[in-house]
Structure 1
Amino acid sequence: MSRFETDEAVGGMSSAFVPAPQRKPSNRFARFLRAAAVATIAAGVVFAAGFGWFADYVSRLSTPANPPSADAIIVLTGGQSRIDAALDLLKSGKGQRLLISGVNPAAGRKSLQVATGGDKTLFSCCVDIDYAAMDTIGNAEESAKWVESHEYGSVILVTNNYHMPRSLLEMGRFIDKANLKPYPVVNTRLDGGTWMTKPEAVRVLFTEYTKYLGALARTVVPLRSTPDGVVLVEASTKSSTN
């Protein structure tokens, strides 16, 4: 065998054992991961910016000194100060009638009147109590029935400042024929950015902000009519706390 033939044979053998070039991993998955990371960061920025706006907006809400009168008043339970404010509005003639929505079934009319220090005569003539509502959606449903049955055209809505944005959203979905006038009750001043220095305030605002986003999402949920003309949400039986 010539030298040339030997080199050729060796070369042929070596070439037979050269591993096949490996395929480079597809860039599609890498691009997907990058897009997902960018989307996650963007969503986080939007969420944080939204929370900042929400907290700033709520912290600047103040209780009207002399609100205009309305046909009626609705107060959502969740704090003694809310009911006290609503009763003061009723006593001063800012509304013809008051609905206290979301009262614990264990609290009777008399015990509620005594606990709030409300005028007995005023309580007897002009205060209605809703025991059915268990959450803000329930408040809206029961309030809508009450407003519709009395044919009220304007209603003062009383609740805490941090709860007001979500309450207006939920109420607005059910009460479309009456003008809602917000009356935010402020227990603790949070304006000027002071809410950022109070961990409890941050916690309450953050919790309410997430619930507010849920209420925004529910604005696209279709409503269905009931025999009495009140519209209800298909998902209204799902849990949602005050």
Structure 2
Amino acid sequence: MFRWIPPVLAAGWLAGFFWYAADVPDLVADATTPTDAIVVLTGGSERLDAGLNLLRQKMAGKLFVSGVYRGIDVNELLRLSRQKPEELECCIVLGHTADNTAGNAIETAAWMRAEGYRSLRLVTANYHMRRSLAEFHHAMPDVKIIPHPVFPDKVKHEQWWLWPGTAHLIATEYTKYLAAQLRHWAELQEDAP
């Protein structure tokens, strides 16, 4: 009787997957609007380098790096990224509690509230941006968020279907994005009167 459900779900997932893959950003849409903060999600050297460059360009007064390993301080982070600590040390804050994207959003939301900030530029990998935005908008619905994707060399965005590693990465991100959306919807249902 319900044999049609699995094929319909599979077809829906597949259609959404192709939409998601086509929607992975291939450029920074807004590279000039300043914000209160720059937020970098750990996970790749391109992300931290982009965040530090944005801070150097004075695109914001503070850089928050979310999801940093415990025991690493600002000096160590700057040394690892081959930066001079005295140039940027004053303006960088590290978050050590997040261990996933939802945690990044929660950790950043707490820091933004403590600082009284209302806008941020979010730096993460292009394939990770849509899910990150979903988590950040859910955690901070009143904060203006400007996406600032970076483009890892290992991710072959053009003709991604020819690259099994990239196809798998995008499929995994899409599935995690759907799970996040489902979790957000369930939380809203719980909070509804």
User: Would you call these one fold, judging by a TM-score over 0.5?
Assistant: yes
Tell me, which stretches of 5 or more residues in structure 1 are unaligned? 1-31, 224-232, 234-242
Matched, 1:49 2:3: no
> Which residue type is aligned with residue 162 of structure 1?
Y
Percent identical across equivalent pairs? 34
Contact 2:28 2:147 in 1 (8 A): no
Structure 1 residues 205 and 191: CA distance shift in structure 2, 3 A: closer
Matches for 1:160-239 after TM superposition, within 5 Å? 160-188=125-153, 190-192=156-158, 194-222=159-187
What per-residue deviation string (whole Å, max 9, x for no partner) do you get for residues 58-112 of structure 1?
1x43135733111111000000110000000000011110000000113232211
TM-score, normalising length: structure 2: 0.91
d(CA) in 2 for partners of 1:87 and 1:105?
20
The residue number in structure 2 matching 1:111 is: 76
Contact 2:45 2:81 in 1 (8 A): yes
Matches for 1:85-164 after TM superposition, within 5 Å? 85-164=50-129
What per-residue deviation string (whole Å, max 9, x for no partner) do you get for residues 26-63 of structure 1?
xxxxxx1xxx22121111111100101101111x4313
> Which residue type is aligned with residue 75 of structure 2?
K
d(CA) in 1 for partners of 2:124 and 2:46?
9
Tell me, which stretches of 5 or more residues in structure 2 are unaligned? none
d(CA) in 1 for partners of 2:12 and 2:187?
26
d(CA) in 2 for partners of 1:71 and 1:177?
14
Which structure has the larger Rg over C-alpha atoms?
Answer: 1
What per-residue deviation string (whole Å, max 9, x for no partner) do you get for residues 121-177 of structure 1?
343210000011111111011100111111112100000001101101111111122
Matched, 1:80 2:27: no
CA RMSD of aligned residues (A): 2.0
The residue number in structure 2 matching 1:8 is: none
Structure 1 residues 122 and 221: CA distance shift in structure 2, 3 A: farther
Structure 1 residues 65 and 43: CA distance shift in structure 2, 3 A: closer
> Which residue type is aligned with residue 220 of structure 1?
W
Q: Figure out how many residues of one structure are paired with residues of the other and give that number.
A: 189
Structure 1 residues 167 and 44: CA distance shift in structure 2, 3 A: same
